[in-house]
Each structure stands twice: as C-alpha cells, then as structure tokens.
Amino acid sequence: MISKDKKPILFRNYFSFAALASPIKWHLILGVILACIAAIGNFGLLFLSGWLLASAAVAGLGGTAIAKAFNIILPAAGVRFFAMLRIVARYLERVITHDGALRLTSLLRVNIFKHLIPLAPAGLINQRGGDILGRFITDTDLVSAYYTDVIIPFARAFICTIIFVFTFIWFSSFSALALTVGLFISCCVIPVCVYYLSYHHIQKTINYKNTLQTNFTEILQNLGEMLVLGIAPARMSDIQQTQYISDRNKWILDAIESAGRGINTIIMMLCILITLIQNVHEYHQGILTGPEIPMLILGTLAAFDVTFSLPLASQAAAKAYLSEQRLDDACKPTDFVSNTSSLSCSQPYDLYLDNVSFHYPNNPMKVFNQASLTIKQGEHIALVGPSGIGKSSLINLLFSFYPLSEGKITFGGVDTRKISTQDLSSIISVVTQDFHLFSGTIKENLLLANPQSTPTEIEEALRISQLYDFVSGLAEGLNTRIGNEGIRLSGGQAKRLSIAQGLIRKTPWLILDEPTEGLDPQTEYALMTALLKARPETTIIVITHRDAILPLMSRIITMENGDFL
Ligand SMILES: Nc1ncnc2c1ncn2[C@@H]1O[C@H](COP(=O)(O)OP(=O)(O)OP(=O)(O)O)[C@@H](O)[C@H]1O
C-alpha cells in the first residue's frame, strides 16, 4: 500500500503544475518575455510604418523644401529595427518554448511512469493496455501543450494589451478606450465562450480517440486470432465508425474555433471603424496630425494580432484540463498498490504462508482459504493441483502484487509486503506461463535477463534448457533474431529460451510455471534432470500438471480447496 503522505503527481488532487514545471520556470518566463517582444515588434513595425508612409506622402505633397526637410532615415531605421526584432524574438521564442515543452513532456512522462509502476498489476487490473498507452502518450502531450499553447498566448495577450493601450493613450484617449473594449472582448469574452462551447465536444473527442487507440491496440495484438475467428472485418468497421464520429466532432470544434476568430475579426474591424471616425474628428480639431491617423489604424490592426490565437488556446486549455483529469485518474493510488518500502530479507530464504486467505479484487471467489505453507531454501518442489486452483496465484502473492484478505507471508524472515519488488526479483526468478520475449537476438534476450552474464554462463543456460544444439545449428547462432514475441521460434523453443533467461540470473530461488508444457517426453526429462543437477542449492518450484516430473522432485505439494496438502 502506498502511504498517504506520499502524494503522487497530478493536478487537482495529486499534482501541482507549478511544482512539476519548476525545472522549466526560466523557459516559461523567457518564453513569455520573447513572445511579448515579438508582438511588440510587430506592433511597432505596423505602427511606425503607418506613420512613415503617411508622413512621406504629406512631405511629398508639401513641395521640395518640405520633402528635403523630412528626415526619412530615422523612422525607416525604426521600421527595420522592429522588423528584425520581430523575426529574432519569434525565432528565439519558438526555440525556447519548444525546448521547455519537450522537457515538460519528459518530466510528466517520467512522473506518470513512477506512479504507474507501484500500481501494477493489481491497481491496473481494470485498465486496458491501449488506454494506458493513450494516456501516457496523448494526454501527456496535451497537458504539456498547456505551457506553449495556453500560458504563452494568454500571458502575451494580457501583457501586450496593457502596453498597446498605454501607447494609444499618448495619442488619443478615445482610440485607447475603443482598443481597450475591443481587446477585452477578444481576450476574455470570446475565449471564455469558445472554452465552454468546445468543452463537451473536446471531452467526446478525447473519449473517441481513446476508444480508437484502445481498440486498435487490441486488434493489432490479437490480429491472428481475430482473422481465424473471422471477426477482424467487424472490428475494423467499428473502428471506422468511431473514426467517422470523431472526425465529425473535430469538425464542430474547428467550426467553433473559426467562429471565434471570425467574431474577433469583426470586432477588430468595428474598432478600426470607430477609431477612424473619431480620429478624423480629432484631426479636424487639431488634436491629431494627418500621419497619426494611419498610424493608429495600423496599430489597432497589429494590436489585435495577439488575440487571434486565443480561441485555439481556449480549446487547448480545455484539452489540457480534461487530459490532466485522465492522468490523475490513471495514477490515483488504489487499495491494491504493491508496496514500495524496502526492508532487506536475509538468508536463509525460507517462505512461510501463515493462514493466508485471498481473492482477486474483481473476483469474490476465494483462491486461498486460510492456507499455510513452509518452503525451506534449497528444496526442489513440484506444486500440483487442478487447473484454476490457484497455483500461479502464489507467485502474485509472493510478490505482493495483490493484497491478502487475511494472514501473512514472510520471506527470508520479513513480511513480503515490506520487501520491495526489486529486492524480491533479485532473489527470485520467475518463468511464467505467459512469458515475454523481446524482438532482438537470442543473445540480447539472454543479456536482458542478466547483463553481466559471461559467454560460459550463456552456454550453460542454453545447455540446461536444451537449446544449445538448436542455437549452435543456426547460421547466426546467438545472434539470430527471433522476431516480435519470439515469433521465429517454435512454442517449445520460445518457452525454453524463457527458462534460459530465468537460469542465467542465478538467483537463490527459481519458480517455473509449466516449464515443460509442449515439450516431448525426452526433452522434458533431459531439461529437468539437467536443471536439478546444475542447481542443487537453488530453491526450485515447478508448477506443473506433468506426472513425469514428479519423481524427480524432492517434495510434492498439492493444492486443494484453497489450501496446500
Ligand atoms: N487477474 C485475475 N483476476 C481475477 N481472477 C483471477 C485472476 N487470475 C486468476 N484468477 C482466478 O483465480 C483462480 C486461480 O487462478 P490460477 O491462475 O492461480 O490457477 P492455476 O492453478 O495456476 O491454473 P492453471 O493450472 O490452469 O494455470 C482461477 O479461478 C482464476 O479464474
């Protein structure tokens, strides 16, 4: 169980964005500053260009003397300066904010991984693989985008609004007021409306996307079986249907965002119109000069530039919020969290089950009912019993993957709930029925189990698991690639390779779940005798239905009615 004070990551309940984003706070601050500088550069460029063009025209109309007296160099240099400033600031802003966003994504993923690990497998029992993958990839991306797609555009819009309005006040208070009202609607009212109008559709889009991802992952994983059962076309048509609904929803979101932009444009045009009418009036009153009119008009145009990304930013905010909820849910500690404490157990590694009762969280049927068992280090045991009685479940309890209803299990003198999974796995090697081989060479798969193993140890493991002759006969020997999940090996060869993985770790305990299933009697006998001879000191527990193995073992434990006989 996870202790209450170890509060995991995510937002509302478990996570503080500020805490997570703290390593990239300078990226964030610098990103906002550069985004503002780029927007001010754009504003300055248009503002000054309007004044420069109109002044040059007025000077030209005024005759040669006035034209000569007009100093075009200084404002032209200003225009160039703002143009350069805009380009450089935009470039630097992109570099810094994207670097920050990528760092944030990796921080977020590492954090999520850290919180998912203790949940496995019991805490993840009700989650589908594709769903977790979706949360891990898509939702982390959307949450990280909060920084580049939400914080920066809104911070830029608010800071620049203040700067633009104060610049306008210098020339015309009325124009400044019109700009304030226009920018307020564009920065606050429209984004809030877009957010609430989009929220429900974004929620649906995320759900559809998740369903698509989950279903597609399952189809890919089980494509062979689905083709054999003839259900692949039906599943594909389900996927198409979900994709169609998802696309329609996306279309609605695009329409809302475009409407937001469209209204923004209308407000900008209204603002320009009002400013123009008032500026002409002020010109006649002598408050403004002629060139200042286009300057304020183009300035209004430039000022609104910072608001056009806000409808999209509102949608990004809703996406980040919903994704954050999904990540929060995925990482929420349940009652079935495997332990993270780490008391060291010591030799002899004896196992005691004391009145253990247990049922799976999603299955009320008791697998163990006040079961007691003692296994001393070095014993060679066959664990037998009818299918579904609970033999493999013993492995889950040994590693505290599930909580006990009653009783206690000690290993090496320590309650297994207090030994970390890492510590246990350094003492116990388990070869399960549903073993996993990686897409790589035979050697890579063996070294994955024990990176320090020497060529002699590799050879020994292959000899015991009766794979040596097979591997020696291969053109590329140990460097033969075995394909995804060991697809290029036969079922028996793949099983023996997984046994070799268990052997090469040389741990004091070795548990083999149905190691000889699918093997011919000769190979089965050769494997078991070689194993028991090579590892006399190792505790070996063989979970099996094969009678041929039983005479070779030093003790046979039978499971019956939730207990050991
Ligand atoms: N993850 C799980 N969630 C819910 N119930 C489970 C889970 N795993 C196993 N069970 C149930 O627990 C019981 C014991 O299963 P277990 O796999 O330990 O049996 P077993 O003796 O190893 O069977 P077999 O010899 O067929 O491998 C079964 O009734 C099974 O349905």
pLDDT in tens, the chain (565 residues): 333 333 333 344 444 556 667 778 888 889 999 999 999 999 888 888 887 887 777 776 666 666 666 667 777 888 889 899 999 999 999 999 889 888 888 888 888 888 777 777 666 666 777 778 878 888 888 888 888 899 899 999 999 999 999 999 988 888 899 999 999 999 999 999 999 999 999 999 988 888 888 888 888 877 878 888 888 888 888 888 888 898 999 999 999 999 999 999 999 999 999 999 988 998 888 888 887 888 889 889 989 999 999 999 999 999 988 888 888 887 776 655 555 556 677 788 999 999 999 998 878 899 999 999 999 999 999 999 998 898 889 888 888 888 889 999 999 888 888 888 778 888 999 998 888 888 899 999 999 999 999 999 999 999 999 999 999 999 999 999 998 778 889 989 999 999 999 999 999 999 999 998 888 889 999 999 999 999 999 999 999 988 888 999 999 999 998 888 8
Q: Name the nearest CA neighbour of 462 among 476, 444, 442, 436.
A: 442
pLDDT for 368 equals 93
- HEC secondary structure over 517-564: CCCCHHHHHHHHHHHHHHCCCCEEEEECCCHHHHHHCCEEEEEECCEE
Ligand 1: centre distance to CA 218 (Å):
22
**Residue 444: per-residue pLDDT:** 94
Which residue's C-alpha comes closest to atom 28 of ligand 1? 388
Which atom of ligand 1 has the smallest separation from the CA of 362?
Answer: 4
- 351-564: CATH topology is Rossmann fold (3.40.50)
Q: On the CB side of 166, how many CA atoms lie within 13 Å of its CA?
A: 7
In degrees and rounded to multiples of 5, residue 272 shows phi and psi of: -60, -45
Pocket test for ligand 1, best of 119, 124, 360 (most atoms within 8 A of CB): 360
Tell me which CATH code domain 17-331 carries.
1.20.1560.10
Q: Where exactly are the structural domains of the chain?
A: 17-331, 351-564
- Give the Å distance between the CA of 516 and the centre of ligand 1: 19
Dist. CA 320–CA 141, nearest whole Å: 9
What's the N-to-C CA distance of the chain in angstroms?
A: 31
Complex-level ipTM: 0.96
- Could you tell me the two tokens for 530? 């070689």
Q: Residues with Cβ within 6 A of ligand 1?
A: 360, 362-363, 367, 385, 387-393
Distance 383 CA to ligand 1 centre (A): 14
Give the residue among 558, 559, 470, 478 at the shortest CA–CA distance from 519.
470
Q: Find all residues with CB under 8 Å of 465, minimum gap 6, and list them.
A: 496, 497, 499, 500, 503, 527, 531
> Please, which residues have CB within 8 angstroms of residue 268's CB and are 6 or more apart in sequence?
182, 186, 300, 301, 304
d(CA 356, CA 11): 38
- Class of residue 383 by CB neighbours under 10 A (exposed 0-12, middle 13-18, buried 19+): buried
- Looking at this protein, which amino acid is placed at residue 149? D
* Distance from the alpha carbon of residue 72 to the mean position of ligand 1, in angstroms: 86
Which of 536, 561, 345, 563 minimizes the C-alpha distance to 552? Answer: 536
What's the pLDDT score for residue 77? 85
Distance CA 477, CA 442 (A): 8
Q: Which atom of ligand 1 is nearest to the CA of 365?
A: 29
Helices (H) and strands (E) in the chain, counts: 20, 10
Q: How many CA atoms lie within 13 A of 338 on its CB side?
A: 25
Check residue 274 and give its pLDDT. Answer: 93
- Closest C-alpha residue for ligand 1 atom 16: 390
User: How many A from CA of 398 to the centre of ligand 1?
Assistant: 15
- On whether the pTM is more than 0.80, the answer is no
Measure 388 CA to ligand 1 centroid, in angstroms.
Answer: 5
Within 10 A of 266 (CB to CB), how many other CB atoms are there?
10
What's the gap in Å between 121 CA and the centre of ligand 1?
14
- In a mutational test of the pocket of ligand 1, which residue from 356, 365, 391, 434 has the highest number of ligand atoms less than 8 Å from its CB? 391
pLDDT reported for residue 140: 86
Q: Which residue has 């190691």 as its token pair?
A: 515
What type of residue sits at position 81? F
Residue nearest to atom 10 of ligand 1 (CA): 360
Check if the beta carbon of residue 213 is closer than 8 Å to that of residue 272.
no
Ligand 1 atom with least separation from CA of 125: 1
Question: Ligand 1 centre from 114 Cα, in Å?
Answer: 28
Q: Which of 125, 123, 134, 150 is nearest to 31 (CA)?
A: 150
What SS3 class is residue 71?
coil
Ligand 1 pocket test, pick from 362, 368, 393 with the greatest ligand atom count within 8 Å of Cβ, gives 393
Residue 343 Cα to ligand 1 midpoint, Å, equals 29
Distance between Cα 129 and ligand 1 center (Å): 20
Between CA 390 and CA 558 the distance in angstroms is 11
The closest of 544, 552, 543, 504 to 525, measured between CA atoms, is 552
Which atom, in ligand 1's list, is nearest to the CA of 394?
18
Handedness of CA 103, 105, 106, 107 (dihedral sign): positive
For atom 18 of ligand 1, the residue with the nearest CA is 390
